[in-house]
Structure 1
Amino acid sequence: MELTEAMRTTGTCRYFSPDPVPDDVLHRAFDAARFGPQGGNRQPVRWIVVRDAARKQALADLYLPPWKAYLAGIGIGDVAVGALPKTVADADHFAEHLAEAPAIVVVCAEIDGLHPTDHELGRLSVVGGASIYPVMQNLCLALRDQGVASAVTTLLCHSEPEVKKLLDIPDGVITAAHVAIGYPAKGFPHRLSRAAVEDTVSLDSYATPLFT
């Protein structure tokens, strides 16, 4: 698959076919993903592929309460957060059926391999993710190349202690995201809706658009 096409059609899949994702497909995807940029080439990312039905259900049970609380805050018909009602309804279906995804990939990272440079700025620290999320996106693109869909969520990171206990994740390793994967039940999107380049790119100062 051509790279730009993959980038433009790797959306969030909410409906999965029950067909399992074969090991050789996963291996090719992880093999490509590991070349994502990482600070100092420390390679902190580790993966856990959860296929066991009981463990997937346990993850789903942890996911559902915070999702429902979030849903109650925005309302299924409320578009104030920028999400269309169908998008919210699809996300609710995903939450209700998370355990049915063929696999859930838990994205982990070794803390010693991260180097956040923004933790003393008095705001949310995000820089450590620069050594994690490019690798994760590589995984999603590599899966898309093989016809496998994905849905990235960070909501389960709120339950990290429970997830670590469930999956025997050792001290010094964090959870950074969870990626439900499988063959899409409804195909891939032909077009994703995103903000225009003209609205997101500046020149020399934040208030000066580069493109008009």
Structure 2
Amino acid sequence: MDLIEVMESNATCRSYKPDPVPDSVLQAAFDAARFGPQGGNRQPIRWVVVRDPKTKKQLKEWYLGPWTAYIANARKGAINIGASSRLLDRADNFAHHLDEVPAIVVVCAHIASLHVTDPDFDRPSVVGGASIYPCVQNFLLACRNLGLGTALTTLLCAFEPQVKELLSIPADFLTAAHIAVGYPAEPFPKKLKRRPVEEIVFAERFGVPMLGR
């Protein structure tokens, strides 16, 4: 597939076929993922592929805790996520069937290999993810190119100590995301809906449109 086509059609997949994903297909996706840009080429990321039904069920049970609170607030309008009731229903169904997804990939990162430059600001630190999430995005795009659907979530990161113990993740690693992976039960969209470039790209100063000046 053309790279732009892959990017424009890589929707979050919330419904999967039960078909297992072969090791060779996952290997191809991980092979592409490792070429994401990383500070100093320190390559901090490790991946854990979870297929065991009991382990997936435990991950689902932890996931449902924060998810239940999140969707309840979304449905009553306490948080505005811009999602339709149909989308919320699909996301809720995904959460309650997370253990049925063929594979859950746990993204881990070596803490000492992350160069965090924004820990002292009065906001959540995000800079450490600069050496993590480009590789994660590479993995998502590679999966799409291979016909796999994916769903990226960080809700389970709230249970990092439990997940690390369950999966024998070393103490000097963190968990950065969890990715559901499998063959989609529905066709991929041809193109996702996003804000136009004119609304999100500025020239020289925030709020000054780059286009149409």
Preserved CA contact (<8 Å) 2:73 2:79: no
* Aligned-residue offset at 1:178: 0.2
Runs of at least 4 residues off by over 6 Å = 76-79
How big is each residue's C-alpha offset from its partner over 1:43-100, in whole Å with a ceiling of 9 and x where there is no partner? 0010000000000000001001110011111117889421111111111011010000
Q: How far apart in 2 are the matches of 1:121 and 1:147?
A: 41
* Aligned-residue offset at 1:6: 0.4
* Aligned-residue offset at 1:196: 1.2
SS in structure 1 of the partner of residue 106 of structure 2: strand
Q: Within the alignment, does 1:6 sit opposite 2:6 as a pair?
A: yes
- Counterpart for residue 113 of structure 1: 113
- Counterpart for residue 89 of structure 1: 89
What does residue range 1-212 of structure 1 map to in structure 2 within 5 Å? 1-75=1-75, 80-212=80-212
Q: How far apart in 2 are the matches of 1:80 and 1:103?
A: 30
**AA aligned opposite 2:135:** V
Structure 2, unmatched stretches of 5+, are none
Q: Percent identity?
A: 55
Q: How far apart in 2 are the matches of 1:88 and 1:195?
A: 20
Q: How far apart in 2 are the matches of 1:127 and 1:57?
A: 32
RMSD, aligned α-carbons: 1.3
Q: How far apart in 2 are the matches of 1:187 and 1:60?
A: 25
How big is each residue's C-alpha offset from its partner over 1:134-193, in whole Å with a ceiling of 9 and x where there is no partner? 000100111111101100000000111111111011111000000000000012112211
> TM-score, normalising length from structure 1?
0.97
Q: How far apart in 1 are the matches of 2:4 and 2:158?
A: 33
**AA aligned opposite 2:94:** F
Deviates more, 1:120-129 or 1:11-20: 120-129
* Aligned-residue offset at 1:204: 0.2
Q: How far apart in 2 are the matches of 1:113 and 1:27?
A: 24
* Aligned-residue offset at 1:110: 0.3
Q: How far apart in 2 are the matches of 1:16 and 1:31?
A: 23
Aligned length: 212
Q: How far apart in 2 are the matches of 1:102 and 1:149?
A: 11
Preserved CA contact (<8 Å) 2:105 2:178: yes
Structure 1, unmatched stretches of 5+, are none
